[in-house]
A and B are shown apart, each in its own frame.
Chain A
Amino acid sequence: SQQGEEDPQALSIQEGENATMNCSYKTSINNLQWYRQNSGRGLVHLILIRSNEREKHSGRLRVTLDTSKKSSSLLITASRAADTASYFCATVSAGDDKIIFGKGTRLHILP
């Protein structure tokens, strides 16, 4: 059964703008992970945020987690053409430690 669901499914923005993607889930989690996938490539880990954390940063990436709303967001600031990719959230369920990937958000940065 699907756990994390990303929103929107697709997003196009101008280079330099900020991009925000959201992930909602249904059951309690151990942690939540964000990954990037460039076309034709494997997934690359971006950030892991634990259930007791609310915000994490990595360079131009900012991830927030709201366990009361069962949602997370990934913000990419000052987007670049190289950020064009699909972004996936993966939730690790509390209890059984199952990791389930969402269907992803396709981000396209316009020059």
Chain B
Amino acid sequence: NAGVTQTPKFQVLKTGQSMTLQCAQDMNHEYMSWYRQDPGMGLRLIHYSVGAGITDQGEVPNGYNVSRSTTEDFPLRLLSAAPSQTSVYFCASSTGRTDTQYFGPGTRLTVL
């Protein structure tokens, strides 16, 4: 099993550009989530999904969109990138919302 995969590993955007961060898991997990990690802030939940077709907002959802058309994939879209979105983004999956989270390797995003 590959576990949780994320692409790209690194990305540089200009302010106002849009892009999609990809996340996929092959563990048949129902629950998937996106976090951002900033220095001194720990991990903050952006959006999550409890199954295909179902998504909900986390702690810091503004500026991000998600969709969940399949169990395996959970892309995160930045609509109009801002410097405040410079961060490391992690995707995670688990069997259920309260269970052990399996994390991807992360995407380091810089917005100029």
- Chain A residues within 8 Å of B, Cβ to Cβ: 2, 30-31, 33, 35, 40-45, 48, 88, 90, 92, 97, 99-104
List, sorted by A's number, 18 A–B pairs whose CB atoms are closer than 8 Å.
A31-B98, A35-B101, A35-B103, A41-B105, A42-B104, A43-B90, A43-B101, A44-B103, A45-B100, A48-B99, A92-B97, A92-B98, A99-B45, A100-B45, A101-B35, A101-B42, A102-B42, A104-B42
Interface size on B, residues (CB 8 A): 20
Contact status of A48 and B100, CB under 8 A, knowing A99-B45, A101-B43, A104-B42:
yes
For residue B73, give the distance in angstroms from its CB to the closest CB of chain A. 18
A81 to chain B minimum Cβ distance, whole angstroms, is 22
Asked if A33 contacts B100 (CB within 8 A), the reply is yes
Residues on the B chain within 8 Å of A44, using CB: 103
Residue positions of B touching A, CB distance < 8 A: 4, 35, 40-45, 90, 92, 97-106
Question: Secondary structure of the A side of the interface?
Answer: strand
Residue in A closest to B35 when the chains form the complex, CB atoms: A101
- B residues near A35, Cβ cutoff 8 Å: 101, 103
Among B42, B92, B104, B106, residue most surrounded by chain A Cβ atoms (within 10 Å): B42
A111, chain B: closest CB distance, angstroms: 26
Are A97 and B101 touching (Cβ within 8 A)? no
- For B104, the chain A residues whose CB sits under 8 A away are 42
Quick one: closest A residue to B104, CB to CB?
A42
What are the 3 A-B residue pairs with the smallest beta carbon separation, nearest first?
Answer: A42-B103, A103-B42, A101-B43
Smallest beta-carbon distance B29→chain A, Å: 13
Which residue of A has the minimal Cβ distance to B90?
A42
Task: Report how far A2 CA is from B45 CA in the complex, Å.
Answer: 12
Instruction: Say whether A41 contacts B106, CB under 8 Å.
Output: yes
- Give CA–CA (A42, B5) in the complex, Å: 11
Chain B residues with CB under 8 Å of A92's CB are 97-98
